Amino acid sequence: MKLLTHNMLTSHVRGVRPGGGFPLRIQATEVKVNNVDFNQEFVARMIPKVEWGALLEAAESLGHLSDLPHQLPPEYENNEDFLRKVHHVLLEVEVMEGILKCPDSGREFPITKGIPNMLLSEEEET
């Protein structure tokens, strides 16, 4: 599970307050780092879609915060250095084994072989 994916994921357990299921807390037992080709334009376009705070939090929990800034720098589209760091965190860091935990309900979703399983039981469904 890449951190870009994680940035979209939310808990949807019945009873969770609106927005209360995001972002999921990562408890990783196995993290992998891949080499992914850097595409500057691609990364620049991804940034507006990302919840920046959640990304920072997730990166930090995996020890890959590096020196990502707390705020988005102005005119980041041309800031290659910055974009490369974002690229690394969004696309190269992968959680292979671990747990995603709903901040509101505490419900845990497993990640196995890089695949998060977000299925709910019938009782938990909204």
Partner 1 sequence: MTWWILGLKNIKKNQGSYAVFKMEHEATQLENQHVHSVYESTASYFNDLQSKAWPRVRQFLLEQKPGSLIADIGCGTGKYLNINSQVFNLGCDYCEPLIKIARKKGCEVSVCDNLNLPFRDQCFNAIISIGVIHHFSTKQRRIKAIKEMARVLISGGQIMIYVWAMEQKNRRFEKQDVFVPWNRDLCSRLLSESNQSGHKSDLEHTVKKHPQQPVGSECSYPINRTQELDTKSSHSTDHCLAKTCCMKMSEEEENRFYSALGKSFRSWFFSRSLDESTLRKQTEKMKSLKNVGEWANSTISIQPSRHCSLDLGHRGPLLKEQSLDDDEVFMENASLKKPQWMTASGVIRDLNGEHHGVVQSKNEETSFLSGPVENRDNNCTYSKDEDGKSTTSKLFQRTSTTDSTDSILDEAMAVGDQVVDILDTKAFMRYYHVFREGELCCLLEENVPELHIISSCYDHGNWCIIAEKIAK
Residues forming a β-bridge with 123: none
Q: How far is the CB of 28 from partner 1 (least distance, A)?
A: 16
Binding mask 41-80 for partner 1 (x = CB under 8 A): xxxxxx--x-x-----------------------------
Sheet of 108-112: strand order equals 25-33, 93-101, 108-112
In this complex, which beta carbon is closest to partner 1, that of residue 65 or of residue 118?
A: 118
Q: How far is the CB of 4 from partner 1 (least distance, A)?
A: 6
Q: How far is the CB of 83 from partner 1 (least distance, A)?
A: 12
CA distance 82 to 114: 26
CA distance 38 to 26: 25
Which of residues 4, 16, 59, 95 is near partner 1 by CB under 8 A?
A: 4
CA distance 41 to 71: 20
Could you tell me which residues come within 8 angstroms of residue 87 by beta carbon, excluding any fewer than 6 positions away? 36, 38, 39, 43
Which of residues 62, 86, 95, 116 is near partner 1 by CB under 8 A?
A: 116
Binding site for partner 1 (CB under 8 A): 1-2, 4-5, 8-12, 22, 39, 41-46, 49, 51, 109, 113-120, 122, 125-126
